Chain A
């Protein structure tokens, strides 16, 4: 009987569990079968109509569907008013860069631009047999309703979704498919519908990330994003701190810079949308959401939040301790209160809600994750203090008891889930980069599986929120830039977690199924007894380019598993920072690669039949000598920084390999931590990112 720590987010889409995917040896649905279901089979296959296709959202989604639906011969009808400025053509250059000119031309050939007068649809449209309407017209309720009526009258049976960021389905009378910004590349869609539809499953099968949300005003993303903007505006009103500096402090505290984002999206449209979202929330929930006078003014004027170039900020602002506490209270108090309302209303799976903040609103850590870390009492204190600073917000009901549930598994496993059946378990990670939250949750997941006597385990992504594994989250390294103990703690504790996969299970299989697996995530995965990947997945250890010294045993673990004559491949990867396709790394980095179905089946076979299925490459625990660095490609820039970074990594490789396995963990952690303190690291990517958010 299957058991899991919590419900997987995949289940909210009606797509089963990750364990079932491995058991069945295939994905729950394919794009081809879902395209048939939504658009009909050839020769009666219909078209996707995107209305308001020249707007920011419409044009972005036209590009996204244009490229993804091309293999299925589904025409994209880009419909808009005759006077609307072309929003589609300007995407062509990026399309060419991404897909190449021929592919880009083919995509554009399948996008048919049609004009309509708003009251009737062009006759030509009928010839394309529209089966699905994705509405992206302005956020005016009556306008939208008339639009649906027009399409339903003209094309009875047509399915409709709205991209609205705020209106619930109950107001519009259609399903909601709200895409996150930026629209041409962001894969997230907030979906509000009674049960998972074919269209939603089509999105998933196309590699997009639909997230089920409940049918409440502004869903989840816009409550977070607009709510954060509002909190920033309120702090501005309280302190007079200019928007640009408020933005920098918000970025330091939480990750996003909402004021800059509004300007970048286009202040006129973005200001209106934020106002509209807050206005409706204000009407439905009260003064916690009341837009400020500045927003009221700027939704009309469309004025940018950042000063014009000739008035670049002149007088600096910095917060003293007391001011900083007020700032943090104003931000976190508002967000905690808003979050409590959304959780009370069960607006989405907690993992989805947490991830929406990270994946769409650029939160460094999801709000639920931050709330979990803060703990119940701190949250209570923060919201109470917030209400003293902004008494109007106290007039809106909030639900403190929600935070009493923090110890539940739904709260404790926001990023890492585990499930098992009989002796076989699966651990899934739903975050693309490894951080302390993942580490803590992974340890809890391992503990849980061990307590259930599970001896064989698969470690993989969640087939939903995480579409790749990009490495360690460098935000977690910031304290290590000035504190060697912190660097050592991170490297050694994360390595110790990774070793549990090797030491505490009879069999562990790492399954890599995304676009890429790099850096810290790859270091984690190589600790599994077997590593299996899709053929085309890109594997890389790009640390030398940042530069940092790998801290999770990447400098010796694979070398200990690999035949001496193949070790040069690993050395090159570490020293050059290059990448390799998974299918070209079998035998020295991974153990097997194949298509999705073949790789899934092989993984399940190993879990079922053990080490007879594939030769097991044991980790050599004695010191390895004679590591050589011959034949490395010279860096084209040959600059001093690269040479120094390579030397630091080479030193780490030599010293950690030339030690017993037991000692190697500490040795590598010391090398990694020591390098974090160097000027070179400070000047590199990690240091620069730290400087960007280190506001004074």
Chain B
């Protein structure tokens, strides 16, 4: 898949993901933040934005001047390059990277910036005139209304988790233990300094140019005890406030380039990262948490590889049951995946979620000496997405 497209090692980065309403990010233009942060991160990685000739942005929540999409983000980097915006709910962060690979493979670009971001805090409230609605005019709150209602099924996100847990006879005890383990993985990794290679501290300024504070922590993420998880009330089968992710804000970026450009700009040109394959499935109504596992099954068949071939496995898991179901369907020990943290712990800013997952996965693969990297996740509409990359 996309043999001409490569991801230059070390040119990536993300912001930390402060939880909903816990940082100055709650009230800024998130596209401007993302554009300026991308410049800063690339600067830190000693890569000039002058290399970029195209920008693909991934974002799911409306932001001011979204009409102008990628061009606004590029302008915030001081560049006038073309591009477009892609969105596919929580699959956005991976889908944007795939689209960038296609852009390179087509020969249309030499270096594509992938920039994903979202601000779940204070999402815009829109008014949609609906002539056939009994309410005539409905005010919608983009984030919470959609979390609570899939127009195709009428179900809330949370309900799909309960439904899937019941289908696979998942027990709360296992889900609590799995969640507890995910927190341990995150904090162990953080203490080792792994996050410093992924997330870049960023200082925000108000209009007077004074500091509004730093985005230098995944704020809202605290160590959790298994007993506390066990004591939490079930909102649906196996689902408590502790075993699901939380809304957050942030951005993440990486580059997709030709092989020669990757060698030119990578901080470690000897490392080669390439695309292997990608799949998507849409499972039965209301069973979103099983979709990623189904996508992985499909993908492995497609590329003729097995789970044992994968060196790093990492996913977007808004519900801990996602991992439990994956483990059951793929017969794979959930303790062997998500080694450096995952969205269940560090949050769910939608657009950039799977981009950060991917960056962490690449860094982990490099630490392990290379190999296949499997990244997957679920998305609104009972969709699962999966992709395999190779790190040499």
A residues sitting closer than 8 Å to B (CB atoms) are: 236-243, 293-294, 297, 307, 311-318
Contacts and interface: CB of A to CB of B under 8 A. Distances in A.
A240 B207 contact: no
B154 interface: no
Contacts of B80: 297
A103 to B, nearest CB: 40
B151 interface: no
A316 B203 contact: yes
Contacts of A294: 78
A314 B43 contact: no
B371 to A, nearest CB: 32
A153 B326 CA distance: 91
A240 B205 contact: no
B202 A240 contact: no
Contacts of A311: 29, 32, 75-76
B155 interface: no
B8 to A, nearest CB: 15
Nearest to A315: B36
A563 B202 CA distance: 64
Q: Ordered nearest first, which 3 A-B pairs have the shortest CB separation?
A: A315-B36, A240-B43, A316-B203
Contact of A316 (B47, B49, B50, B205): B205
Contacts of A312: 205, 207, 209
Contact of B42 (A240, A313, A317): A240
A312 B39 CA distance: 16
Interface in B19-45: 28-29, 32-33, 36-37, 39-40, 42-43
A456 B48 CA distance: 62
21 contacts: A237-B48, A237-B50, A239-B43, A240-B43, A240-B48, A240-B77, A240-B78, A242-B78, A294-B78, A307-B76, A311-B32, A313-B36, A313-B209, A314-B29, A314-B205, A315-B33, A315-B36, A315-B40, A315-B202, A315-B203, A316-B205
Contacts of A314: 28-29, 32-33, 36, 204-205
B211 interface: yes
A318 B43 CA distance: 11
Nearest to B43: A240
A317 B78 CA distance: 14
B16 to A, nearest CB: 13
Interface in B174-217: 202-205, 207, 209, 211
Interface of B: 28-29, 32-33, 36-37, 39-40, 42-43, 47-50, 75-78, 80, 202-205, 207, 209, 211
A240 B36 CA distance: 9
A315 B43 contact: no
A313 B76 CA distance: 9
With a 10 A CB-CB cut-off, give which of A239, A293, A314 has the most chain B CB atoms: A314
B300 to A, nearest CB: 39
A312 B77 CA distance: 13
B17 to A, nearest CB: 16
Contact of B37 (A238, A293, A297, A315): A315
Contacts of B47: 240
Contacts of B78: 236, 240, 242-243, 294
A316 B216 CA distance: 13
Contacts of B75: 311
Contacts of A318: 203
A293 B53 CA distance: 13
Contacts of B211: 316
A238 B209 CA distance: 24
Given A314-B205, A315-B205, A240 B28 contact: no
A308 to B, nearest CB: 9
Given A313-B36, A316-B205, A317-B40, 10 more contacts: A236-B78, A240-B42, A240-B43, A242-B36, A242-B78, A312-B209, A314-B33, A315-B40, A316-B211, A318-B203
Contacts of A297: 80
A124 B32 CA distance: 57
A312 B212 CA distance: 14
B70 to A, nearest CB: 15
A141 to B, nearest CB: 30
A341 B229 CA distance: 72
A327 to B, nearest CB: 11
Contacts of A240: 39-40, 42-43, 47-49, 77-78
Nearest to B75: A311
A297 B80 CA distance: 9
A164 B48 CA distance: 35
Nearest to B49: A240
B205 A313 contact: yes
Nearest to A317: B40
Contacts of B50: 237, 293
Contacts of B49: 240
A315 B209 CA distance: 10
Contacts of B40: 240, 315, 317
B389 to A, nearest CB: 26
Contacts of A316: 202-205, 211
Nearest to B41: A240
A239 B37 CA distance: 13
Contacts of A242: 36, 39, 78
A318 B78 CA distance: 17
Nearest to B45: A240
B10 to A, nearest CB: 15
Nearest to A236: B78
With a 10 A CB-CB cut-off, give which of A237, A241, A315 has the most chain B CB atoms: A315
Nearest to B37: A315
Nearest to B203: A316
A313 B77 CA distance: 11
Nearest to B209: A313
A242 B43 CA distance: 10
Contacts of A239: 43, 48
A318 B207 CA distance: 17
Contacts of B76: 307, 311
A243 B39 CA distance: 12
A311 B32 CA distance: 7
Contacts of B48: 237-240
A237 B52 CA distance: 12
Nearest to B50: A237
Given A236-B78, A240-B40, A315 B207 contact: no
A642 B48 CA distance: 50
B120 to A, nearest CB: 18
A238 B45 CA distance: 11
With a 10 A CB-CB cut-off, give which of B77, B78, B205 has the most chain A CB atoms: B78
A318 B44 CA distance: 11
A317 B200 CA distance: 12
B131 to A, nearest CB: 34
A295 to B, nearest CB: 12
A611 to B, nearest CB: 58
With a 10 A CB-CB cut-off, give which of A236, A240, A312 has the most chain B CB atoms: A240
